[in-house]
Structure 1
């Protein structure tokens, strides 16, 4: 029997690189609406967790569920945990879907949930291999988080820097080693959420500004599922322009069928 699932989308207005990002227009719809629609396609309950009345009102306006949370949270997962405490209904699995992932695919969510077929899985996330022809400048972009994984499918480290370093090589890096891009989707067994909530911020987390390093530093194992499907995370206004162009192409392709 499949576990019961709740998808929580953390969304805040005060982004450093892109203020108001959740409400940014994507061809006639706010981005947060497109993320909610993607998440809802899996059939799970979807809740937007925010600390901003504008986002709350927007989500309510298109008929989705939203909850107001504290403005003091250090990370998106902290916000999701509070939201689960407020509106959770005993679901076994909580998905944290980043509010800047409007192109996440149902198949990717299903792949992530499959990690919980293994009883030992407590936390899971997704990774996508960079193509061998990925330009070095794109690979080294600090807005693109890289993931290093072990032979048993567990995360060893996440970084904005390029890891591992290839000694003696400075170009065409993807042709000589398989690098992995981290996809902004996590899943947790809800019985460990109180433990995660109690963890202090770790030096690694603060250095990289990556919340998942807090869990690794505390000894939690993060299972990694692979996806061959590409997605476009949106961190900056330039990313939004590229995302809108991609969306236009998708809609044009559908209309031509």
Structure 2
């Protein structure tokens, strides 16, 4: 079963216009755009997936095709990455069983995060969609808290039940904890990694639902599943000593570049 990996990318980001074309400098001094680094991450996934960039912007299309990416043009009316993935899947013929949404602002996403989601759907026919969660250490949690204290919207956190069905996702830090944690200490907070794997029927259902109040307030597309009673499977993944961060704000560029340098990523 060959999966389809879609990297949705739009130029007109509210918080960071032109974000997919921002250059990130790796450990060796090489400069690559955010969208190219996301493409490179997707191409490391096992199972020979088909990888496409889905965009509505000619500048992103031109930049992606210049480094060899396959590009699918989608409508400017897509409100989020899930809708853009659904449209791209339709444009490509709609024949894939598993479609992965690897959002274009997460260039540090390890390939095994994506592979864990594909395995989850392959092993459980009842699961319609899955997304990874990563237990925060003190360093990551402190980064979240610092963002909120400075008025920035950083990463997303998740809480889930005993069978790993999501209870809620938020751009606030949940659950609340009053403790202070050392940088290398495990915390009760889980970072939601912005990657999704869907079955085709789940994507089709998504397009038939209206945007609910929680999705609107949080700006989190996955809440539409929960607001319509569709379970979201949280798959706990292991960073294997890799650092992980998403590019949400201009301030994140230096943070991600420092992580790449520390990990020796080109």
Q: Does 1:159 align with 2:165?
A: no
Aligned residue for 2:227? 217
Whole-angstrom distance in 2 between the partners of 1:89 and 1:210: 25
| TM-score, normalised by the number of residues in structure 1 | 0.89
Deviation at 1:227, TM superposition (A): 1.3
1:118 corresponds to which of 113, 120, 124: 124
Q: Does 1:241 align with 2:243?
A: no
- Relative to structure 1, the CA distance from residue 176 to residue 247 in structure 2 (aligned partners, 3 Å threshold; closer, same or farther) is closer
Helix, strand or coil at the partner of 2:68: coil
Aligned residue for 2:180? 172
1:79 corresponds to which of 62, 84, 108: 84
1:7 corresponds to which of 5, 8, 25: 5
Whole-angstrom distance in 2 between the partners of 1:132 and 1:38: 26
Cα shift readout 1:153-200 (whole Å, capped 9, x = no counterpart): 11110011232335xxx4427989611110000000012322111110
- Relative to structure 1, the CA distance from residue 40 to residue 89 in structure 2 (aligned partners, 3 Å threshold; closer, same or farther) is farther
Aligned residue for 1:30? 33
Whole-angstrom distance in 2 between the partners of 1:135 and 1:125: 20
Q: Does 1:109 align with 2:114?
A: yes
Aligned residue for 2:54? 49
Helix, strand or coil at the partner of 2:188: coil
Helix, strand or coil at the partner of 2:137: coil
Which region of structure 1 is more displaced relative to structure 2, 62-71 or 171-180?
Answer: 171-180
Cα shift readout 1:3-56 (whole Å, capped 9, x = no counterpart): 320000000011122111111112221111111111011221001011110000
Which region of structure 1 is more displaced relative to structure 2, 138-147 or 231-240?
Answer: 138-147
Aligned residue for 1:20? 18
Runs of 4+ in 1 over 4 A off after TM superposition: 132-137, 173-177
1:206 corresponds to which of 210, 216, 228: 216
State the Cα RMSD in Å: 2.1
Task: Say if 1:135 and 1:172, in contact at 8 Å, map to a contact too.
Answer: no
Task: Say if 1:111 and 1:227, in contact at 8 Å, map to a contact too.
Answer: yes
Length, aligned pairs only: 248
- Identify unmatched segments of 5+ residues in structure 1: none
- Relative to structure 1, the CA distance from residue 54 to residue 251 in structure 2 (aligned partners, 3 Å threshold; closer, same or farther) is same
Which region of structure 1 is more displaced relative to structure 2, 68-77 or 45-54?
Answer: 68-77
Whole-angstrom distance in 1 between the partners of 2:32 and 2:246: 17
Helix, strand or coil at the partner of 1:237: coil
Deviation at 1:250, TM superposition (A): 3.2
